Structure 1
């Protein structure tokens, strides 16, 4: 299964969500996972390399990859039908090499915020990927939700996004998310991330395994 994580909006949280899902699948669900870090900043692969210096045990592998290398990488990774490949996409959609990557996705996860700029970028991302890949499920993850804040346009935004996919459970705005790395999910975050990750797993990943 190939899961893409993307949004044109920088700072939407796609790299953090990639790490959360990778840790959850590998540690909590004992699933074989490989992460392809295709984001231009390559923050995930940088964390992975730093963690290797401390001789940590890893439950999955992270590969820094160029878009042009994707076909060859998938030839290797697809040899294991149980492998879950998570791809942290670049923040821009202006590279033609993105097209085969997007077409390969079985599930597209899109974290976003309810501010106007993030919503506009999210809608544009949804329109582009929906035209390129008509079969993948598109799942939106509200991110950095502030407690006590009333989002006046939330219903309107959710309705607009529902035209492309499903708006799922969201993550609160917590400083602890900065502690997420390639080895584990900090215990303090488990109560707030497990409902979101569990929803994704049960709705798409576990269901695909049962269908197979």
Structure 2
């Protein structure tokens, strides 16, 4: 990898606040709309939500002519390939950028919903940016503020 990509983590010690959703939406925006070369690292063990979602999408493509036509139309309109999603444990996440084939402008990391998972804190400290998604809920806000002060 010759470029030095921007590393972005989506993290919060509270589960269910939209980390995976925000990761996917922003990765798609930067890849398909802005034309950046993007990779996603799904570190949200054991769920690996983004990896499972990609697998489900691929199965739908195999089964459905309708989805195949939509995919072809999207590719013809943007000529952008789907960004890669790789799985990793949080403790191995820092090594992933050097292992990816290709030059990436942006690598997004979807981290687990707890700082108690091994490697989460270390992963966060290696990032250029950390996004902490929250929802309007007192417990989530308190947990998120605690997470921010810990980081």
**TM-score by structure 2 length?**
0.76
Deviation string 1:79-138 (CA, Å, 9 cap, x unpaired) is: 73x431100010010134223311211111111122111101110111122xxxxxxxxx
Matched residue, 1:67: 90
Conservation of the 8 A alpha-carbon contact between 2:135 and 2:141: yes
Aligned residue for 1:111, secondary structure, equals coil
Aligned residue for 1:2, secondary structure, equals strand
* Residues 1:110 and 1:27: Cα distance change in structure 2 (over 3 Å): same
- After alignment, is 118-127 or 68-77 more displaced? 68-77
- Gaps of at least 5 residues in structure 2 are 1-5, 63-70, 76-80
Matched residue, 1:150: none
Q: Distance in 2 between matches of 1:12 and 1:99?
A: 18
Q: Distance in 2 between matches of 1:109 and 1:10?
A: 14
Please give the root-mean-square deviation of Cα atoms over the aligned residues, in Å.
Answer: 2.0
**TM-score by structure 1 length?**
0.55
Q: Distance in 1 between matches of 2:20 and 2:142?
A: 20
1:3 is aligned to 2:8: yes
**Aligned counterparts, 1:28-177, within 5 A:** 28-40=33-45, 41-53=47-59, 54=61, 56=71, 58-77=81-100, 80=103, 82-129=104-151
Conservation of the 8 A alpha-carbon contact between 2:11 and 2:113: yes
